[in-house]
Amino acid sequence: MKKIKINDVEEILYYEQLKNGLNVYMIPKKTVNNVYVTYTTKYGSIHNEFKSINSKKMIKVPNGIAHFLEHKMFEQENGVDPMIFFTSKGADVNAFTGLLNTTYLFYGSKHLNDNLKFLLDYVHSPYFTNENVEKEKGIIEQEINMYADIPYSELDDGIRKNLFHNHPAKYSIAGTINDVNDITKEQLYECYNTFYHPSNMFLVLTGNFNPEEVITIVKQKQEERCVPSVEKIETKKVKEPPTVIKEYEEKIMNVEIAKIAFSFKICLTDFQKERRKHDIYLLILFLVLFGQTSLFYEKMKENSYVDSEIDINYLHIDDYAILNLTSDTKKPKELINAIKEEIENINIDEKEFKRKKKVLISSMIHLFENIKTLNHHIIDSVNNYGNFNNDMLKLLRGLNIKEYREFIFKLNFNNYSSFVIKPKDKK
Q: Which residues are catalytic?
A: 70
- Phi, psi at residue 38, to the nearest 5°? -125, 145
Neighbours of 386 (CB within 10 A): 9
Beta-strand (E) ranges in 211-319?
248-253, 258-267, 311-317
**102-108 and 35-41 strand pairing:** antiparallel
Listed as own residue / partner, the contacts of 283-287 with beta carbons closer than 8 Å and 24 or more positions apart are 283/312, 283/314, 283/360, 284/353, 284/356, 284/357, 284/360, 284/399, 284/404, 285/346, 285/408, 286/312, 286/314, 286/323, 286/325, 287/312, 287/356, 287/359
State the helix-helix crossing angle for 295-302 and 275-290, rounded to 10 degrees: 30
Residue 360 three-state SS:
helix
- Find the DSSP H helices in 242-291: 275-290
Radius of gyration of the chain (CA): 23
Residue 2 three-state SS:
strand
In DSSP terms, 106 is beta-bridged to 37, 93
- Find the DSSP H helices in 226-302: 275-290, 295-302
**58-60 and 49-51 strand pairing:** antiparallel
On whether the CB atoms of residues 23 and 202 are closer than 8 A, the answer is: yes
On whether the CB atoms of residues 408 and 343 are closer than 8 A, the answer is: no
Among left, alpha and beta (phi > 0; psi -120 to 50; other), residue 323 is beta
Of 292, 86, 100, 320, nearest to 200 by C-alpha is 100
